[in-house]
């Protein structure tokens, strides 16, 4: 299985641990991710809210580059990238004006984009293309006893619920259960983490982050599993401020791919777990082969 | 133009109707009348405000006498609405009623166009076509066909029950077909009814028993209509009777077999208690079920599934021998003259709005679940408890769940405001809990309903206006810990509120039945875009359908409460009786006929006729059409290789002159 891969800026910076765990896990499953040559920033939500047309141009350059590789699908792990690229696809389909300005821009760069290439999330690839049975076979250290709160964030399911339900997604729940983890019922799984408000309007943003952390603790979770670099950052980086305001809610937040890596028996040091502010407790050693 | 008229000089009267502003607002009626006045044979051409009114009809009658008219054309609304009105006027004026042609310039013109000049041109073209056509009309006679006096009622809810009883009490024979093992429908599940708070069972069960006792009603439960053929007065209906594995004639309803079943406890969700209790594979739907006959669930019964059961039920039934595992599905054919469809509704699936947490939080329940909890015959014996058995201290109702919502259903389900207020009062009465109702608008328009709303307010029920955003179980304050929290904008106070409660009741709306499209096709009815069965006219023919002899009653036509359902059921029964008591229907003479000297007896038409109305005469070897069976579909007319089959009211000269009229530019 081979896919075009758009990491996005986060996975090269703040969300480095995501890529560090994603790539070896995919490799272990025989999935080849071929990083796009000369990709650029997707524009994230900021650019979209300033100028939709230019934001679409920025994003569609990546789509055009991906199409040039001849791959079937483009995979992108960051929820913001995933949303912006999918949104661009929708806008190109629905708005003749945007389609025209994008085409003009791509023409000058000698690129073209047909609009056909699907933009997919690794979670979708893992559960629907690779399959839970194949994943189960690779588990050498089941996460037995580890209580995980599955947290999807909002962007991966709204407004485009392409591979799961918009309000109650279950793909990651099933994946975590396959790894042997105990999935804690977590109805807040698609509630907003605060997004960039943690920086711009901290009173509002941090309150949202706090609710997610507090409820995960209240429901007995040992760790929160996330699929989005911004969610991971918000849930991990503000524990000091949150503790000052509401009291401590000590719980680590890791990428689901890091948990997969642990279950596959990959060395902890190579999964980026040391980058967390709130560290996850080490798991028991891998049981000796019978 | 060539004419082959045998009726002497043609003298046409043309009338164009303003229909108030409906037509005149878009079409220049005076100009049309003026234009048509210039056509050959037109003696009178008038426009008038309301042609269907008495003075309008009088105009036609007078002109026929004064101007010796012998053809009439009216340009107005759809023939479905007033063709008969005008034909009657023509007849009253002394002419054969088929010397008339109607032009639809309302539905086909003024209602669908906005440009006045273009709409007027179109009206002229359509009117000209009719004027040219009517010259070729011939005098025709209607025929009478007897009406079968029996009636089929489909659906054994309160509407179907009432319709069946009304007919049966008038001496008509009725077949009442119900899909479930018992009649009673939704109403049988209710505790009390608004706004009088009288007990639903006390008023429904006597009617159910009356159905069973009435000699004129043939009750078939656990049965479905499979096929409908024929036409008004003469329907042939196939009814599929599912096997209940219990002989209805022999079972006395003692229920000893249920006691004796190898399942010691109920194991499967009890449909009547909407899953709040369990039943065995052999069961009776509810204590007052009619018929009082047990039923065996084919999917759950050990004997039916594996053939390896001790069959303790048969032992218990002993020499009554009512249990019959060999029972097979059977299909019965009946003849009826009229059909009343009262197939009801289904409740909105609350899981479709995941933000309200139904299925996620155990103490989020639907209104029908609470209804079963309140009822003394329900799973808790009438005690309102949460899933863990505690009595709730605070209860919130969310209205318009799956109603008045562009994401789900746009319509108002009409009963949920009142139903919720009734439940809210009962919750106050039974538990003393604090009750908050989240609403968009309180709709309490029925008799005694506004007073009921007043009583709710006086009872201390809190009303918060605003659509609830979400139901959560996470707490921000100590008071919220362990509670369900409703987040909603209070649109009267202009604030977002968080209200913690123990139990939340979702007032789920009404939807068309899941198989409403299939049922619609079965009875050849129409549906609105939402899926409710369409009445022939929203005001003047509320229980008729576009298929003569098929009537609708109750919620299959749209959401309504019990009194309205009963009123419709009575109306449908009366409509059916009007036809039965007249004894016959007039059949349109728009039938096909064979010009014998041109028929070669090739038999091409025989297999084409959907109504098997064509036979080959053994002696003359010519096709022969039975006018009583012919529906005037025209298939044979088009197919006949020698052109020897023709059709009244659709003769070649009539159609060609009509085409010429449309295509001629003034």
| 3-class DSSP assignment, residue B484 | strand
Kindly determine whether residue A167 and residue B354, on different chains, have CB atoms separated by under 8 Å. yes
Count of domains observed in chain B: 5
Q: How confident is the model at residue B5 (pLDDT cuts 50, 70, 90)?
A: very low
Residue of B nearest to A219 (CA): B474
In whole angstroms, give the CA distance from residue A253 to residue A237: 10
pTM score: 0.84
Q: How confident is the model at residue A282 (pLDDT cuts 50, 70, 90)?
A: confident
pLDDT of B412: 97
Condensed to tens digits (0 to 9), the pLDDT of residues B627-650 reads 878 889 999 999 999 999 999 999
- What single-letter DSSP state applies at residue B323? B
Chain A nearest CA to B352, separation (Å): 10
Domain range for B629: 592-647
**B7 domain-assigned:** no
Boundary (domain end) residue, out of B540, B561, B582: B582
**B2 domain-assigned:** no
Q: Mutate one of A151, A159, A167, A188 to test the B interface: name it (highest B CB count within 10 A).
A: A167
Give, in order, the Cα–Cα distances in Å from B623 to each of A227, B140, B296, B645.
Answer: 76, 22, 53, 9
Residues B596 and B573 reside in one and the same domain: no
Give, in order, the Cα–Cα distances in Å from B431 to each of B393, B418, B437, B457, B486.
Answer: 8, 20, 16, 17, 21
**B653 domain-assigned:** no
Burial state string for B137-151 with b = 16 or more CB within 10 A and e = fewer than 16: beebeeeebebbbbb
User: Rounded mean pLDDT of B552-580?
Assistant: 98
**B555 domain-assigned:** yes
- CA atoms within 13 A of residue B157's CA, in its CB half-sphere: 26
| 3-class DSSP assignment, residue B227 | strand
Q: How confident is the model at residue A46 (pLDDT cuts 50, 70, 90)?
A: confident
CATH number at residue B224: 3.50.50.60
B527 phi and psi angles, rounded to 5 deg: -125, 150
Residues of B in contact with A167 (CB under 8 A): 354-355
Nearest by CB to residue B474, choosing from A167, A168, A211, is A211
**B358 domain-assigned:** yes
In whole angstroms, give the CA distance from residue B73 to residue B87: 10
Residues B222 and B365 reside in one and the same domain: no
Per-domain residue ranges of chain A: 2-120, 139-275
Q: How confident is the model at residue B304 (pLDDT cuts 50, 70, 90)?
A: very high
Residues of B in contact with A187 (CB under 8 A): 357, 360-361, 472-474
B380 phi and psi angles, rounded to 5 deg: -110, 10
Residues of B in contact with A214 (CB under 8 A): 474
Residues of A in contact with B357 (CB under 8 A): 187
Residues B465 and B369 reside in one and the same domain: yes
Residue of A nearest to B481 (CA): A218
Q: What is the dihedral sign for C-alpha B387, B390, B394, B395?
A: positive
Residues B551 and B574 reside in one and the same domain: yes
CATH architecture designation of domain A2-120: Up-down Bundle (1.20)
| Strand residue runs (E) in chain A | 2-5, 32-35, 74-75, 119-120, 147-151, 182-183, 223-226, 253-255
Burial state string for B376-413 with b = 16 or more CB within 10 A and e = fewer than 16: ebbbbeeebebeeeeebebbbbbbbbbbbbeebbebbb
Residues of A in contact with B355 (CB under 8 A): 167
Chain A nearest CA to B355, separation (Å): 7
**B251 domain-assigned:** no
Kindly determine whether residue B354 and residue A215, on different chains, have CB atoms separated by under 8 Å. no
In whole angstroms, give the CA distance from residue B347 to residue B269: 17
Those residues whose C-beta lies under 8 Å from the C-beta of residue A248, and which sit 6 or more positions away, are A239, A242
User: Rounded mean pLDDT of B140-166?
Assistant: 96
Residues B438 and B488 reside in one and the same domain: yes
Q: How confident is the model at residue B610 (pLDDT cuts 50, 70, 90)?
A: confident
From A115, A127, A117, A116, select the one nearest A163 (Cα to Cα). Answer: A127
Those residues whose C-beta lies under 8 Å from the C-beta of residue A164, and which sit 6 or more positions away, are A124, A152, A156, A157, A170, A171
In whole angstroms, give the CA distance from residue A3 to residue A21: 17
| 3-class DSSP assignment, residue B239 | strand
Boundary (domain end) residue, out of B117, B141, B165: B141
Measure CA A88 to chain center.
18
State the angle between helix axes of A171-178 and A256-263 in degrees (0 to 180), rounded to the nearest 10. 20
Burial state string for A31-53 with b = 16 or more CB within 10 A and e = fewer than 16: bebeebeebeebbbbebbeeebe
Of residues A282 and B471, which shows the higher confidence score?
B471
Residues B456 and B377 reside in one and the same domain: yes
Boundary (domain end) residue, out of B92, B108, B141: B141
The CATH classification number of A139-275 equals 3.40.50.11810
Residues of B in contact with A159 (CB under 8 A): none
Q: Which two tokens stand for residue A47?
A: 């650019």
From A8, A39, A41, A34, select the one nearest A111 (Cα to Cα). Answer: A39
Q: How confident is the model at residue B3 (pLDDT cuts 50, 70, 90)?
A: very low
A278 touches A253 (CB < 8 A)? yes
Condensed to tens digits (0 to 9), the pLDDT of residues B27-80 reads 999 999 999 999 999 999 999 999 999 999 999 999 999 999 999 999 999 998
Q: Is residue A175 scored above 70 in pLDDT?
A: yes
Condensed to tens digits (0 to 9), the pLDDT of residues B469-482 reads 999 999 889 999 99
Q: How confident is the model at residue A232 (pLDDT cuts 50, 70, 90)?
A: very high
pLDDT of B145: 87
Residue of B nearest to A169 (CA): B354
B362 touches B387 (CB < 8 A)? yes
SS3 string of B243-287?
Answer: CCCECCCCCCCCCHHHHHCCCCCCCEECCCCCCCCEECCEECCCC
Kindly determine whether residue B476 and residue A187, on different chains, have CB atoms separated by under 8 Å. no
Residue of A nearest to B474 (CA): A215
Residue of B nearest to A212 (CA): B474
Residues B221 and B367 reside in one and the same domain: no
pLDDT above 70 coverage of chain B, percent: 99
pLDDT of B6: 45
Kindly determine whether residue A167 and residue B473, on different chains, have CB atoms separated by under 8 Å. no
> What ipTM was assigned to the predicted interfaces of this complex?
0.80
- What single-letter DSSP state applies at residue B187? G
- CA atoms within 13 A of residue B182's CA, in its CB half-sphere: 26
pLDDT of B2: 38
Q: Is residue B666 scored above 60 in pLDDT?
A: no
Q: Is residue B1 scored above 60 in pLDDT?
A: no
Chain B nearest CA to A235, separation (Å): 17
Condensed to tens digits (0 to 9), the pLDDT of residues A103-157 reads 999 999 999 999 889 999 999 999 999 999 999 999 999 999 999 999 999 999 9
pLDDT of A288: 66
Residue of A nearest to B361 (CA): A187
**B249 domain-assigned:** no
Q: Which two tokens stand for residue A255?
A: 């990428």
B195 touches B242 (CB < 8 A)? no
Condensed to tens digits (0 to 9), the pLDDT of residues B426-485 reads 999 999 999 999 999 999 999 999 999 999 999 999 999 999 999 999 988 999 999 999
User: Rounded mean pLDDT of B548-560?
Assistant: 97
Decide: residue B331, CB within 10 A, 0-12 exposed, 13-18 middle, 19+ buried: exposed
Query: Which residues of chain A have a Cβ shorter than 8 Å from any chain B Cβ?
Result: 165-168, 185, 187-188, 211, 214-215, 218
Residues B435 and B338 reside in one and the same domain: no
Residues B496 and B524 reside in one and the same domain: no
Residues of A in contact with B354 (CB under 8 A): 165-168
pLDDT of B653: 95
Residue of A nearest to B473 (CA): A187
A239 touches A228 (CB < 8 A)? no
Kindly determine whether residue A187 and residue B360, on different chains, have CB atoms separated by under 8 Å. yes
- CA atoms within 13 A of residue B178's CA, in its CB half-sphere: 27
Chain B nearest CA to A187, separation (Å): 8
Residues B321 and B379 reside in one and the same domain: no
Q: Is residue B270 scored above 90 in pLDDT?
A: yes
Q: How confident is the model at residue B611 (pLDDT cuts 50, 70, 90)?
A: confident
Query: Which residues of chain B have a Cβ shorter than 8 Å from any chain A Cβ?
Result: 354-355, 357, 360-361, 472-474, 476
Kindly determine whether residue A167 and residue B355, on different chains, have CB atoms separated by under 8 Å. yes
From B132, B125, B103, B131, select the one nearest B23 (Cα to Cα). Answer: B103
Residues B412 and B460 reside in one and the same domain: yes
CATH number at residue B81: 3.40.50
In whole angstroms, give the CA distance from residue B159 to residue B564: 9
Q: Mutate one of A157, A164, A168 to test the B interface: name it (highest B CB count within 10 A).
A: A168
Chain A nearest CA to B409, separation (Å): 19
| 3-class DSSP assignment, residue A245 | helix
Tell me what the pLDDT averaged over chain A comes to.
95
| 3-class DSSP assignment, residue A150 | strand
Kindly determine whether residue B354 and residue A168, on different chains, have CB atoms separated by under 8 Å. yes
Residues B396 and B287 reside in one and the same domain: no
Kindly determine whether residue A187 and residue B473, on different chains, have CB atoms separated by under 8 Å. yes
Pairing relationship of beta strands B295-296 and B282-283 according to DSSP bridges: antiparallel
Kindly determine whether residue A188 and residue B474, on different chains, have CB atoms separated by under 8 Å. yes
Kindly determine whether residue A215 and residue B360, on different chains, have CB atoms separated by under 8 Å. no
């Amino acid at each position: 299985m081979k896919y075009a891969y758009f990491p996005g800026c986060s996975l090269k910076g703040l969300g480095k641990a995501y890529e560090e765990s994603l790539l070896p896990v995919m490799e272990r499953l025989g999935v080849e991710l071929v990083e796009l040559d000369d990709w650029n920033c997707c524009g994230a939500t900021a650019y979209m809210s300033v100028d939709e047309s230019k934001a679409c141009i920025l994003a569609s350059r990546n789509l055009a580059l991906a199409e040039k590789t001849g791959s079937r699908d483009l995979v992108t792990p960051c929820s913001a990238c995933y949303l912006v690229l999918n949104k661009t696809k929708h806008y190109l389909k629905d708005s003749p004006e945007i389609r025209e300005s994008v085409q003009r821009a791509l023409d000058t760069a000698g690129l073209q984009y047909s609009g056909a290439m699907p933009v997919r999330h690794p979670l979708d690839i893992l559960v629907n293309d690779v399959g839970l049975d194949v994943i189960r076979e690779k588990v050498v250290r089941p996460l037995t006893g580890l209580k995980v709160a599955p947290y999807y964030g909002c962007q991966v399911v709204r407004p485009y619920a392409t591979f799961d339900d918009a309000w109650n997604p279950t793909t990651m729940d099933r994946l975590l259960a396959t790894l042997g983890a105990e999935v804690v019922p977590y109805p807040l799984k698609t509630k907003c983490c605060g997004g960039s408000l943690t920086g711009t309007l901290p009173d509002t943003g941090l309150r949202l982050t706090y609710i997610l952390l507090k409820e995960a603790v209240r429901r007995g979770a040992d760790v929160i599993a996330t699929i989005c670099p911004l969610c991971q950052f918000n849930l991990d980086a503000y524990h000091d401020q949150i503790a000052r305001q509401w009291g401590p809610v000590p719980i680590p937040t890791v990428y689901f791919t890091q948990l997969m890596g642990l279950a596959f028996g990959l060395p902890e040091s190579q999964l980026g777990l040391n980058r967390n502010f709130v560290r996850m407790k080490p798991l028991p050693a891998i049981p000796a082969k019978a | 133009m060539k004419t082959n008229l045998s009726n002497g000089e043609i003298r046409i009267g043309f009338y164009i109707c303003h229909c108030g502003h409906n037509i005149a607002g878009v079409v220049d009626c005076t100009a049309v009348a003026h234009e048509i006045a210039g056509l050959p044979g037109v003696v009178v051409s008038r426009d008038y405000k309301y042609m269907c009114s008495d003075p309008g009809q009088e105009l036609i009658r007078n002109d026929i006498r004064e101007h010796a008219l012998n053809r009439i054309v009216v340009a107005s609304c759809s023939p479905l609405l007033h063709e008969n009105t005008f034909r009657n006027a023509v007849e009253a004026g002394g002419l054969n009623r088929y010397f008339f042609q109607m032009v639809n310039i309302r539905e086909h013109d003024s209602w669908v166009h906005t440009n006045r000049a273009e709409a007027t041109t179109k009206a002229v073209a359509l009117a000209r076509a009719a004027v040219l056509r009517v010259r070729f009309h011939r005098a025709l006679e209607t025929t009478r066909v007897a009406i079968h006096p029996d009636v089929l009622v489909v659906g054994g809810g309160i509407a179907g029950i009432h319709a069946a009883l009304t007919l049966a009490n008038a001496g008509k024979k009725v077949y009442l077909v119900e899909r479930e093992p018992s009649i009673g429908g939704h109403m049988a599940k209710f505790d009390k009814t608004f706004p009088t708070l009288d007990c639903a069972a006390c008023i429904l069960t006597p009617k159910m028993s009356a159905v069973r006792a009435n000699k004129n009603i043939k009750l078939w439960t656990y049965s479905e209509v499979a096929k409908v053929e024929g036409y008004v007065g003469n329907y042939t209906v196939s009814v599929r009777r599912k096997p209940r594995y219990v002989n209805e004639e022999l079972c006395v309803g003692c229920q000893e077999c249920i006691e004796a079943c190898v399942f010691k406890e109920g194991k499967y969700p009890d449909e009547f208690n909407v899953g709040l209790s369990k039943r065995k594979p052999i069961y009776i739907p509810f204590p007052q079920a009619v018929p009082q006959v047990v039923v065996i669930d084919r999917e759950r019964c050990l004997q039916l599934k594996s053939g390896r059961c001790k069959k303790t039920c048969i032992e218990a039934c002993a020499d009554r021998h009512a249990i019959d595992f060999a029972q097979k599905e059977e299909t019965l054919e009946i003849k009826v003259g009229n059909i009343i469809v009262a197939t009801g509704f289904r409740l909105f699936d609350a899981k479709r709005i995941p933000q309200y947490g139904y299925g996620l939080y155990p103490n989020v329940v639907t209104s029908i679940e609470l209804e079963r909890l309140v009822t003394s015959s329900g799973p808790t014996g009438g005690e309102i408890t949460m899933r863990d058995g505690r009595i709730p201290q605070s209860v919130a109702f969310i209205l318009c769940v799956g109603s008045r919502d562009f994401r789900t259903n746009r319509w108002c389900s009409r009963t949920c405001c009142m139903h919720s207020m009734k439940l809210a009062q009962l919750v106050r009465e039974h538990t003393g809990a604090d009750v908050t109702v989240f609403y968009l608008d309180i709709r309490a328009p029925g008799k005694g309903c506004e007073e009921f709303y007043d009583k709710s307010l006086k009872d201390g029920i809190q009303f918060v206006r605003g659509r609830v955003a979400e139901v959560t179980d996470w707490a921000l304050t100590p008071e919220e810990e362990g509670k369900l929290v409703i987040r909603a904008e209070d649109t009267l106070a202009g604030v977002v509120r968080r209200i913690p409660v123990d139990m939340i009741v979702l007032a789920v709306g009404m939807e068309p039945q899941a198989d409403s499209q299939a049922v619609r096709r079965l009875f050849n009815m129409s549906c609105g875009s939402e899926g409710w069965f369409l009445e022939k006219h929203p005001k003047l023919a509320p229980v008729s359908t576009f298929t003569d002899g098929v009537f609708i009653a109750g919620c299959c036509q749209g959401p309504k409460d019990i009194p309205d359902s009963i009123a419709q059921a009575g109306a449908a029964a009366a409509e059916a009786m009007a036809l039965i008591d007249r004894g016959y229907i007039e059949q349109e003479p728009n039938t096909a006929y064979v010009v014998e000297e041109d028929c070669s007896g090739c038999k091409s038409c025989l297999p084409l006729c959907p109504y098997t109305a064509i036979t080959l005469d053994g002696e003359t070897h010519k096709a022969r059409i039975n006018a009583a069976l012919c529906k005037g579909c025209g298939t044979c007319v088009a197919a006949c290789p020698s052109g020897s089959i023709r059709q009244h009211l659709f003769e070649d000269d009539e159609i060609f002159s009509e085409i010429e009229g449309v295509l001629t530019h003034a």
